[in-house]
Amino acid sequence: MRHSNGLGMPASDGSKQVAVFGSTGSIGVNALEVIRASGGRLRAAALSAHSRLKELVEQARLCRPDCVVAADAEAAAGFDWSGLPEGCELKVGAQALDEVAASESVDIVLAAIVGSAGLGSTITALEAGKPVAVANKETLVCAGAYVTRLSEQHAAPLLPVDSEHSAIFQAMLAGRPAEVSRLVLTASGGPFRETPLGELSGVTVSDALAHPTWQMGEKITVDSATMMNKALEVIEARWLFGVPAERIEVMVHPQSVVHSMVEFHDGAVVAQLGPPDMRLPIQHALCYPDRVPGVAQKMDWSAAHSWTFEPADRDRFPALDLGFECAEAGGTAGAVLNAANEAAVGLFLRGELEFTQIVPACRGVLRAHDFESDPELPRLVALDRWAREEINRWICA
Ligand code: NAD
Ligand code: MG
């Protein structure tokens, strides 16, 4: 019989069974590479996708999971599933994600769905006492207090996959949590770090999707261009590590090699670095606490390297102020900022909102909401819906 100790350790008599939620996305595809290269240590027990169902079937043929989840029931109904390999069960709809997250045959959930759509299945996994490897930062931005409380109550660890938070998680091990004075998040600065401010209003979708160092899904790539991604990461760090906003810094580091740093009370700064390659933080979270050989690129120490760091320009990237504001305020602020941003980015990608309007639209919706300091989950879910509608009102005003 297989068993897991619930702490992210491999089952003693077999591979660790991973539910890869969002397997057709950028993180999901990288995760499947990590799993395939793990020499049997990890196994993809379940895969999920929203609408890229052809890719989902191809992945199932390669990875032979026990089941696949097609989260969008409408897309699933019109799809020919005859290519699914024998023995692979098809599950349909968002509730099927919960079923898999709570399943006894899953040891760890990789939360790699984009947006607050990933919230429900992470909550279910934590309630079932499962470790969650969290790529889906929107969950922590929307419901950080709630989710971290659940993680503690159920002794179900949240293992960071976001490269900055993975770096902080690793660097934290150099001291005790009470000895940490500051977290320093690094940011690439995105494609518009040096663009003259006057030219930003003409930014097109393809300009915004041309990230200089990372290959990622569309939403996070646009977030990196506005630096809303870093704003969300400040909030994510606040909840994951319990460090208040005033002790979190952001430094622009265009080479994306130093993934973040922790400063301790004695002044020592501990960093984690490596080439920009998400396969390392994914593997770190899935295999934690073990470090094993993997497919992530290694540093080339035969070459010279120059790494630069500069303070983030808050005038160029006004999203950062919103991130710090929401990290400090807590309560309902993160849920509203996150949903407003998801909606605004969606509008920008469809050509219905200018690039430079994304952040003002988010600010407008944030200011318009009735702040509550200690909301229950249903209130957060309602505000997520409200903020998406409010963005449409804001752009029509
Ligand atoms: P992506 O757009 O490439 O993939 C998203 C995945 O989520 C796809 O599998 C898609 O089918 C699924 N999905 C989309 N909407 C869904 C819905 N409503 N219900 C269920 N499934 C849905 O995104 P990505 O770049 O892989 O990012 C995934 C998450 O990881 C995001 O939260 C992102 O912020 C975070 N993250 C990504 C990177 C990266 O390098 N890509 C780095 C750090 C953090
Ligand atoms: Mg990141």
pLDDT tens track for 263-291: 999 999 999 999 999 999 999 999 999 99
Does 114 contact ligand 1 (Cβ within 6 A)? yes
Give the residue, by CA position, lying nearest to ligand 1 atom 31. 114
Residue-wise pLDDT for 315-348, tens only, equals 999 999 999 999 999 999 999 999 999 999 999 9
Share of the chain above pLDDT 70, in %: 97
Q: How far does the centroid of ligand 2 lie from the alpha carbon of residue 52, in Å? A: 24
Does 20 contact ligand 1 (Cβ within 6 A)? no
pLDDT bracket for residue 234 (50, 70, 90): very high
Give the pLDDT confidence score for residue 192 in this predicted structure.
Answer: 95
Does 52 contact ligand 1 (Cβ within 6 A)? yes
Average pLDDT over residues 139-146: 98
Residue-wise pLDDT for 168-205, tens only, equals 999 999 999 999 999 999 999 999 999 999 999 899 99
pLDDT bracket for residue 211 (50, 70, 90): confident
Give the residue, by CA position, lying nearest to ligand 1 atom 7. 113
pLDDT of 6 over the 90 cut = no
Does 162 contact ligand 1 (Cβ within 6 A)? yes
Indicate the average pLDDT of the chain.
95
Does 335 contact ligand 1 (Cβ within 6 A)? no
Average pLDDT over residues 242-265: 98
Give the pLDDT confidence score for residue 218 in this predicted structure.
Answer: 96
Q: By the 8 A CB rule, do 347 and 373 touch?
A: no
Ligand positioned closest to the Cα atom of 50:
1
Does 164 contact ligand 1 (Cβ within 6 A)? no
Q: Give pTM, 2 decimals.
A: 0.96
Ligand positioned closest to the Cα atom of 139:
1
pLDDT bracket for residue 213 (50, 70, 90): confident
